[in-house]
Structure 1
Amino acid sequence: MSNLRLKILQSLLRVEEGSYSNLLLNSELKKIKDQRDKSLFTEIFYGVIRNKLYLDFIIDNYSKTPLVKMDKEVLMGLRIGVYQLFFLDKVPARAAIYESVEAVKTILPNSKKGAVSFTNGVLRNINRQHDKLALPAKAKNPEKYLSVKYSYPIWMVNKFVQQYGFESAETILNAGNKRSEVTYRHNSLKMTEKEFFQLLKADGIEYEKTFLDSFFRLKKINNPAATQVFKKGGAYIQGTSAGLASLLLDVKEGMQVLDLAAAPGGKTTHLAEIMNNTGEITALDISQHRLNLVSDNLSRLGVTNVNLKIADAAKYEDDKKYDRILADLPCSGLGLISSKPEIKWEKDRSVIRKMADLQYRILNNNLSKLKKNGQLLYSTCTLTREENQDLIERILQENSDFKLMDLNIKLNEISSLTIENKNKYLELLPGEVDSEGFFFALLKKVESD
């Protein structure tokens, strides 16, 4: 068990250094044979990342040593221990403390025995007195209260409260702390829906319907990339909000489509499936490594109508005119916190402006590539006005030959989603919709070139 906590500690330190949590977790789980250990590793690993600020708040209340003066290994060991004490009822307090201390003891050199004793003392103190812990007063400082309770940086809390109000902000924050669920998109290019269901049943996988017909939420799946249906190309792992993009773009067979930021290929392959491998999709990405991921997915899913190009979409030149353009662009990612909780700690306010500037340059460079009456779908997986509503308003003000289309009618046609939306664009908020946070705006070119 102590070895498991050690592996968790080492993995969490790697996330702090910039590793992607989902990729790192998948890699570590492959090394663990016991299913209970897999589940415990996942629970503590993601639990610590999601609740880091709250855990630090607790530690800071019971430690005389400031957090900034602690060894990084000690602080992470304390977080692991505190998470178990506060969130895992099935782990005895004695075991939680002992295993966490042993992990710190193993990772630190012998010269740091004092740090090990310190870790043990702080955890025991917290265990004795944790009932006395009080959150910041909600009435006195509501945003600080939300920040600590839901473990989000204060700037992000302020942003959500400013845009959506206190109640909706709290809903978003709470939803972001819930573990994201795995969703399969059935790929009809490789198999019928009947065959898809048969393979799910053969692997003993339970599922439930979502608000999109071809998307199914899986229950208790250990490794969604190891199933028969996935290996045979009948399924792609894709969230329902992300799945809306290809459907809202309303592509038809035989069309010419430009995908401005294709990797890893979820929306690209979905477009190809809807088009039944007809026409042509020109799919761009700035990174050859990322294009290789797209290529792998094209091969597994049986897609044959995609032309991959390594290119910077903000500078891409092309005399061709397209029927449809998918602009699912790089963003701050604040709608994906449930699946990538490290986003909370990796981002700051400056990234919003940087992303908005990049998004503007990409759109500005590619609007002219659309045919008359052609359509461009702009989408992001974030929740900031600067990257969404404000950007689209600016584009429309500067380009009189484009108009904003109403997405509500199309949404009703392609999904069972029922939301109150008084706008022509579509914004999905975590907690209000059982999916990721996303923004969509559909632009149509209305005048001749």
Structure 2
Amino acid sequence: MELFYRITLHELIADILTLIEERELSSKNALERVFKRVSGKDRERARGLAHAYVFEIEKWRKKIDFIANSLLKGTRIEDLDLYLANLLRIGIFEMKFKGVNPAIATDSVVRVVKEKYDLNRAKFVNAVLRETEKFDLEKALKKLKEKDRIEYLSVKFSHPRWYVEYVIDLLGYESAIRLLLSNNRPQRYYVRVNPLKTDIDKLAEYLEEHGVRTARTPVDDVLKILEYETPITRLDWYKEGYFVIQDLASAYVAHVLAPEKGERVLDLAAAPGSKTFHVAHLMENTGKIVAVDYSAERLQKMKAKMKVLGVKNVKLVHADGMKFKDKEPFDKIILDAPCSSSGTYRQFPEVKWRFDEKKIKKVIQVQKAMIRNAYKNLREGGEMTYSTCSIRVDENEENIKYAMNKVGFELVDYPFSWGEKGVTEIGDKVFRSFTHLHDCNSFFIAKLKK
């Protein structure tokens, strides 16, 4: 594979994995940053390979680390230099998950370690990878199962321990296992039509003509992608903004909000913009949408996307959604709150390793502050949708009770046309989807009124 001077695929993958962890970037964002430095005739092939490696290593990281920690003497993979740890993860992944010849997998990684570090560390990595070759994973997992059943499930399905405990408690053992399995299956794609440019029937026809098999969904402007010959992002209609890629549950939020033509709408955590643009489409470019986000970089990307989609009624504002206050109140508000992303593991496996209880408590404080601020920005009788891509009750139902009891919101009894009920005493009036039941992100939606 010909890439620019002296960079191997393994170095690229280790760079991306390290960026994801150090900067808390999405795998897509980290991949973009690293590949800005890459040229050569095999660039696109290398990019595809690197993406596949990174996605699978992040998905199976707990199991990969279990293998490493079973073999490391007197230390743990988490305590190693991060880049070195990631090179070791690549070697273990190739050998135990990808079926690469052990000698080739070992040699590729050891070469990079020798060049980046020194002979001692190269010998150390070589020894660990030689042991990996002989390691009996099934036997080790069986032993773990006898000792600690939750940890066994956590390693087997490669999910954080807290998540395994949480979903068993929330859904019961059998449904929890189905959810864990479902999170590890290949991602399901959905596309939403842009009604400013075409309609759902014409989009379905166009996709079929281009080798994409689709099915209708419970959300009438969204199609489920069943099979494709060419990646949908390479199709002209995608590049020209005739449709967007958007998760099924995420696309339900704007319909629940039900914006009307000419209204003033506020989106308090707008980037990357899917819900903002959906509302603009439903309003047929009338009225005004103020889209607030704390990330200037993400707002720039939204600006570019707006042009492609033909959206003209959105004003982008770089501000903090916990504090932003406009001169006039709004008719409707979208609060798709920052959350633990615990409903998106199938789509973004890297977020699995990002949150613990302490960090989730901080996120909940942000969610509550945004709920309070939304109330201040809403007119009397105005409505808000609150949504998260989290499975947790404390980020969802508990926050809705807080909005009702402490902030002054009223919960609207919205007639949800699909999905599951929530939990706690307000469960009948809120929406939940689960990856194992609905083949999309696990999601929460509630509609509130001032």
Q: In structure 2, what is the equivalent of residue 174 of structure 1?
A: 181
Give the secondary structure class of the aligned counterpart of 1:109. Answer: helix
- Matched ranges for 1:358-437 at <5 A: 358-400=366-408, 402-407=409-414, 409=415, 411-412=416-417, 417=418, 419=420, 423-437=428-442
Q: In structure 1, what is the equivalent of residue 283 of structure 2?
A: 275
What is the number of equivalent residue pairs in this alignment?
434
Give the secondary structure class of the aligned counterpart of 1:120. Answer: helix
Contact 2:106–2:129 under 8 Å retained in 1: no
Q: In structure 2, what is the equivalent of residue 153 of structure 1?
A: 160
Q: In structure 1, what is the equivalent of residue 4 of structure 2?
A: none
The correspondence for 2:150, drawn from 134, 143, 155, is 143
Q: 1:210 and 2:217 equivalent?
A: yes
Q: In structure 1, what is the equivalent of residue 292 of structure 2?
A: 284
Structure 2 CA distance for partners of 1:439 and 1:193, relative to 1, 3 Å:
closer
Post-superposition offset of 1:187:
0.6
Matching residue's letter, 2:28: N
The correspondence for 2:85, drawn from 67, 75, 90, is 75
Structure 2 CA distance for partners of 1:220 and 1:351, relative to 1, 3 Å:
farther
Q: Could you tell me how far apart the structure 1 residues matched to 2:49 and 2:232 are?
A: 18
Q: Could you tell me how far apart the structure 1 residues matched to 2:113 and 2:18 are?
A: 11
The correspondence for 1:11, drawn from 13, 16, 38, is 16
Matching residue's letter, 1:49: E
Post-superposition offset of 1:70:
4.3
Which ranges of structure 1 fall in alignment gaps of 5 or more residues?
none
> Could you list the per-position Cα deviations for residues 255-283 of structure 1 after superposition, in whole angstroms to 9, with x for gaps in the alignment?
22221111121101100111111222222
Contact 2:336–2:386 under 8 Å retained in 1: yes
Q: In structure 2, what is the equivalent of residue 128 of structure 1?
A: 134
Contact 2:265–2:330 under 8 Å retained in 1: yes
Contact 1:6–1:107 under 8 Å retained in 2: no
How large is the RMSD of aligned CA atoms in angstroms? Answer: 2.9
Post-superposition offset of 1:36:
7.1
- Matched ranges for 1:239-254 at <5 A: 239-254=247-262
Post-superposition offset of 1:209:
3.5
Q: Could you tell me how far apart the structure 2 residues matched to 1:15 and 1:38 are?
A: 16
Give the secondary structure class of the aligned counterpart of 2:8. Answer: helix
Matching residue's letter, 1:269: F
Q: Could you tell me how far apart the structure 1 residues matched to 2:318 and 2:32 are?
A: 28
Post-superposition offset of 1:319:
4.1
Q: In structure 2, what is the equivalent of residue 86 of structure 1?
A: 96
Q: Could you tell me how far apart the structure 2 residues matched to 1:4 and 1:111 are?
A: 17
Normalised TM-score (structure 2): 0.86
Matching residue's letter, 1:78: L
Contact 1:74–1:104 under 8 Å retained in 2: no
Structure 2 CA distance for partners of 1:34 and 1:386, relative to 1, 3 Å:
same
Give the secondary structure class of the aligned counterpart of 2:439. Answer: coil
Q: In structure 1, what is the equivalent of residue 308 of structure 2?
A: 300
Structure 2 CA distance for partners of 1:139 and 1:211, relative to 1, 3 Å:
farther
Contact 2:280–2:286 under 8 Å retained in 1: yes
> Could you list the per-position Cα deviations for residues 135-166 of structure 1 after superposition, in whole angstroms to 9, with x for gaps in the alignment?
25446522212221122232333333343333
Which ranges of structure 2 fall in alignment gaps of 5 or more residues?
2-6
Contact 2:421–2:428 under 8 Å retained in 1: no
Contact 1:199–1:228 under 8 Å retained in 2: no
- Matched ranges for 1:160-199 at <5 A: 160-197=167-204, 199=206
Contact 1:67–1:75 under 8 Å retained in 2: no
Contact 2:271–2:298 under 8 Å retained in 1: yes
Matching residue's letter, 2:93: Y
Matching residue's letter, 1:439: F
Structure 2 CA distance for partners of 1:280 and 1:73, relative to 1, 3 Å:
closer
> Could you list the per-position Cα deviations for residues 162-187 of structure 1 after superposition, in whole angstroms to 9, with x for gaps in the alignment?
43333333333333223323322111
Q: Could you tell me how far apart the structure 2 residues matched to 1:66 and 1:259 are?
A: 47
Post-superposition offset of 1:436:
0.7
Q: Could you tell me how far apart the structure 1 residues matched to 2:295 and 2:82 are?
A: 33
